[in-house]
Amino acid sequence: MASPALWRNLYDQLYAIYGDCECPLRHETPFQLLVAVMLSAQCRDERVNQVTEILFAEAPDPGKMAALPVERIAEIIRPCGLFRAKSENLHACAEKLLADFHGEVPQTMEELTTLPGIGRKSANVLLGNAFRKPGFPVDTHVRRLLNRIGLVSSDSPEAIEAEANSHIEPELWCNFSHLLIQHGRRVCHAQKPACDRCAVRTICKRRKVK
């Protein structure tokens, strides 16, 4: 098991490079972030932002999303992929928000994960970015980096989240996830990690310094 000092060392080194990160998904409200997060599954953030600009012009809130036919939602979000399932989830989610939460996005993990299309990772994104509450989203970059560096040895997002949360202060959880994602996208790629220009290679158990 990695020491708390090693976890904080990783955070500090990544923070020195990327600083305080913002969610790349454009949104003005928690509901809009919820929609963007749902659309981001297997889709690049840039494409999501293009699609939500069109979608939010017609359905910027739960009431208007619920009133929009599923077929119209699917037509708009088609470029994001998985558009049939996503459109059904968006419509059902909007209806549930209106029926059970007075049209507001709830602010707890337990309530968020009752919404159609929202799992634990998406809920953590909302907690950390929409509500500024502790939340550590574990995506493919986070899972890959923490395993590759050697701080965890698990493919379970829940286990990785629990391990990270036990070593990093809650107020840093959201930004720590952002930092790992940024590093995964820019340096620690899945197939060909750029180890020769990696700032954390000295603490990475799989470093390949040339």
Count of C-beta atoms within a 10 Å radius of residue 102? 9
Residue 208 has a pLDDT of 46
Task: Report pLDDT digits (tens) over 133-173.
Answer: 999 999 999 999 999 999 999 999 999 999 999 999 999 99
Sign of CA dihedral 206, 155, 153, 177: positive
- pTM for the model stands at 0.93
- Out of 45, 96, 133, 139, which one is annotated catalytic? 139
**C-alpha distances out from residue 64 to 27, 69, 91, 210, Å:** 16, 10, 10, 56
Percent of the chain surpassing pLDDT 70: 97
Residue 207: band (very low, low, confident or very high) from pLDDT cuts 50, 70, 90: low
Distance separating alpha carbons of residues 8 and 196, to the nearest angstrom: 22
| Helices vs strands, H then E, count in the chain | 11, 0
Is 12 annotated in the active site? no
- Mean per-residue pLDDT, 19-48: 96
* pLDDT at residue 206 greater than cutoff 80: no
Local confidence band at 209 (pLDDT 50, 70, 90 cut-offs): very low
Which pLDDT value is given to residue 52? 98
Higher pLDDT pick, 1 / 201? 201
pLDDT tens column, 66-115: 999 999 999 999 999 999 999 999 999 999 999 999 999 999 999 999 99
Q: Looking at residue 2, what is its pLDDT?
A: 77
210 catalytic? Reply is no
Question: Which of 96, 121, 133, 208 is the catalytic position?
Answer: 121
Q: Could you give all domains of the chain from N- to C-terminal order, each with its CATH number?
A: 4-21+136-203 (1.10.1670.10), 30-129 (1.10.340.30)
How far apart are the C-alpha atoms of 124 and 170, rounded to whole Å?
12
On the 0-12 / 13-18 / 19+ scale of CB atoms within 10 A, 191 is exposed
